[in-house]
Structure 1
Amino acid sequence: MADDQLSKPFEKSAMTEAEKRDMKKDIKKQMVVFVLLLFLTVLAFAAVASDAVPNNFAVPFILILAVVQLFLQLLFFMHMKDKDHAWATVFMITGVFVTVPTIVALMLLIGVVKY
């Protein structure tokens, strides 16, 4: 008898109309950001493959595109723009402040950057 109830669709959604509108807006935003991320990826590949970007600016150009993609992914797909993500934000910022000096120090020790 209980199995018969499981096969029937819900008659009414538990979401309010405002929640449905908000969800549709969020889905549209995520689709736009996804297309933008794809465009930035194609732009990076095309810029390097076609030699449109000078050789001495290729690496900074790709790194700039990567940072833009990182922030878009954090804000929209990791939901860092939403409320109640303070601890996740603190841990990510702490990770950046630990990682960047570590990479710089290792590059200086190995001799990749000679200053």
Structure 2
Amino acid sequence: MADKVSGTAAQLEFEKQKRKEEMKQQVITFALMIIFTIIAFAMVLSELDKLFVIPILLVLAAIQVGFQLYYFMHMSHKGHELPALMFYGGVFAAFITILALLVLVWW
């Protein structure tokens, strides 16, 4: 009986530590997203060259989408493999469609 109680206490401590680490990751990710947003606004307000600003804004946006998916939508957790596969399949199909349309327009 003592093993069962200590096993449960150890399991609860493990879950507590796991949740604490996950919350830490979410807070860090949120802070990074705020910093990226401030950088994007500052770049637009500084009136830099559009050819310089637009690619950087797109990269910052892509990073923020990744943060949203992995940390706030919990796509990195166990059991979310099928939704992740469906999402990435949709992104791949959209990319191929846009690429095909661009090739048709520019050819």
TM-score normalised to structure 1 length: 0.73
Aligned with 1:20 (options 16, 23, 29):
16
Give 1:93-112 correspondences, 5 Å limit: 93-106=88-101
Task: Please report how far the alpha carbon of residue 107 of structure 1 lies from its aligned counterpart in structure 2 after TM superposition.
Answer: 5.2
TM-score normalised to structure 2 length: 0.78
Alpha-carbon distance between aligned partners in 2 of 1:39 and 1:100, rounded to the nearest angstrom: 28
Show structure 1 runs of 5+ residues with no match: 1-14
What is the RMSD of the two structures over their aligned residues, measured on CA atoms? 1.9
Alpha-carbon distance between aligned partners in 2 of 1:105 and 1:42, rounded to the nearest angstrom: 34
1:65-99 Cα offsets, whole Å, 9 max, x none, are: 01111111111111111222110111011111121
Instruction: Give the structure with higher Rg (CA).
Output: 1
The count of residues paired between Structure 1 and Structure 2 equals 97
Alpha-carbon distance between aligned partners in 1 of 2:63 and 2:77, rounded to the nearest angstrom: 19
Provide the secondary structure at the position in 2 that maps to 1:83.
coil
Provide the secondary structure at the position in 2 that maps to 1:16.
helix
When you count helix as a share of all residues, which structure comes out higher? 2
Provide the secondary structure at the position in 2 that maps to 1:82.
coil
Q: What residue number does 1:55 align with?
A: 50
Q: What residue number does 1:10 align with?
A: none
1:77 aligns with 2:86: no
Aligned with 2:38 (options 32, 35, 42):
42
Q: What residue number does 2:61 align with?
A: 66
Q: Which runs of 4+ in 1 moved over 4 A?
A: 105-109
1:32-86 Cα offsets, whole Å, 9 max, x none, are: 10011011011111111112x4221211110000111111111111111122211
Q: Percent identity?
A: 37
